[in-house]
Amino acid sequence: MKQFRKMTYPYVIWISVMVVVPMLLIMFYAFTKQGNSVTQFSFTLENFGRFVSDKVFLEVLGRSLRVALITTVVCVLIGYPAAYYIAKCSEGLKMKWVLIITFPTWINMLVRTYAWIGILQDDGIINSILGIFGIGPITMLHTEFAVVLGMVYNFIPFMILQIYTSLTKMDNSLIEAAQDLGANRFKCFTKVTLPLSIPGVISGITLVFLPAVSSFCIPKLLGGGQYVLVGNVIESQFLTSGDWNFGSAISLIMAIIIMISMYVTKKIDTTEISENSKA
């Protein structure tokens, strides 16, 4: 037992330094206001009131939630059929498809996002192809479409892999039993496969929505600074404006939103599992 505890010390130290201490600093700056001297601080809720009372910041928050929601819905609509197809393939093809899906994640996100700039710009690959047919050029870069496309591209592997894992763990004898009872393919999917794969869908939604709502590098590169999300506001407060107190308050608000989202998805996941077990 003592040896096991010693093995956990490096992890405890790592979590304390990389997670706990930064969160405590964010909470400290969020609830304080710097006085006349560097070491003088006073407790205040002004930072939160500034965010809530400013219409511009609320619009940015709403835009971030909308973009994250659109990204999540698109990932589900594309990711589920892809995961379902992979799960039905032979073992050899499964491994190849999983490798193809995970291979882009081995490359840095900034590099992958920069590649989309060359594809979406006015003289890029897409507009060059459209020009052959006498179409365009169509402005795609620095738009909401470009931001959503970049997020879907970067986050969809998490959706596919979560759903694929859920589908591969499913007991195929349940489908066989449904077929023996006279259910066709559509009935088998809607009554057996889909309900049992819901935990994977919810896990995928969590892994897509949370980074999408707080992303800042994708909207900065593909939005060109003209399409601002909450992540960009937080970055500008820390790096450009130097207002760490306000930036920390926004970060704490986003952390609360993310925790609420995680609680809701966990609650839905638990409900679905209990209903499936009763069925």
Distance of CA 160 to the CA centre of its chain: 13
- How far is the C-alpha of 235 from the C-alpha of 228, rounded, in Å? 11
Q: What is the pLDDT of residues 136-171, one digit of tens each?
A: 788 888 888 999 999 999 999 999 999 999 998 888
Question: Can you tell me the mean pLDDT for 57-77?
Answer: 92
In a domain, 107, yes or no: yes
Cβ atoms of 101 and 154 within 8 Å: the answer is no
DSSP output for 51-116? HHH-HHHHHHHHHHHHHHHHHHHHHHHHHHHHHHHHHHS-HHHHHHHHHHHHGGGGS-HHHHHHHH
Asked if residue 48 is part of any domain, the answer here is no
> Could you tell me the pTM of the whole model?
0.83
Long-range pairs, 62-67, Cβ under 8 A, ≥24: 63/228, 63/229, 64/213, 64/214, 64/229, 64/230, 64/231, 65/213, 65/257, 67/144, 67/147, 67/148, 67/151, 67/212, 67/213, 67/219, 67/229
Across 240-253, average pLDDT: 88
Query: Which DSSP letter does residue 135 get?
Result: -
| Contact between 178 and 188 (Cβ < 8 Å) | yes
The answer to whether residue 271 scores a pLDDT higher than 70 is: no
Residue 204: inside a domain: yes
Q: How many helices (H) and strands (E) does the chain have?
A: 14, 2
Flag whether 43 is in a domain: no
Residue 86 has pLDDT above 60, yes or no: yes
Residue 201 inside a domain? The answer is yes
DSSP letter at 142 equals T
Angle between helix 109-120 and helix 125-132 axes, rounded to 10 deg: 30
pLDDT score, position 151: 93
Instruction: Evaluate whether residue 264 is within a structural domain.
Output: yes
- What residue type is assigned to position 145 of the chain? F
Cα 248 to Cα 84: distance, rounded to the nearest angstrom: 41
Residue 140 sits in a domain whose CATH number is 1.10.3720.10
> In 169-243, which ranges are continuous DSSP H helix?
172-180, 185-188, 194-213, 217-222, 230-236
Backbone phi and psi for residue 32, each to the nearest 5 degrees, phi listed first: -130, 165
**Number of domains present in the structure of the chain:** 1
Q: Which of 210, 257, 239, 244 is nearest to 27 (CA)?
A: 244
Cα distances (Å, whole numbers) of residue 133 to 17, 117, 119, 129, 130: 57, 22, 17, 7, 5
In a domain, 29, yes or no: no
Mean pLDDT of the chain: 85
pLDDT at 38 over 60: no
Domain range enclosing 95: 56-278
CA atoms within 13 A on the CB side of 155: 29
Assess whether pLDDT exceeds 90 at residue 190. Answer: no
pLDDT at 273 over 60: no
Contact 20, 232 (CB under 8 A): no
Within-domain flag for 14: no
Q: What is the pLDDT of residues 87-108, one digit of tens each?
A: 988 888 988 998 999 888 888 8
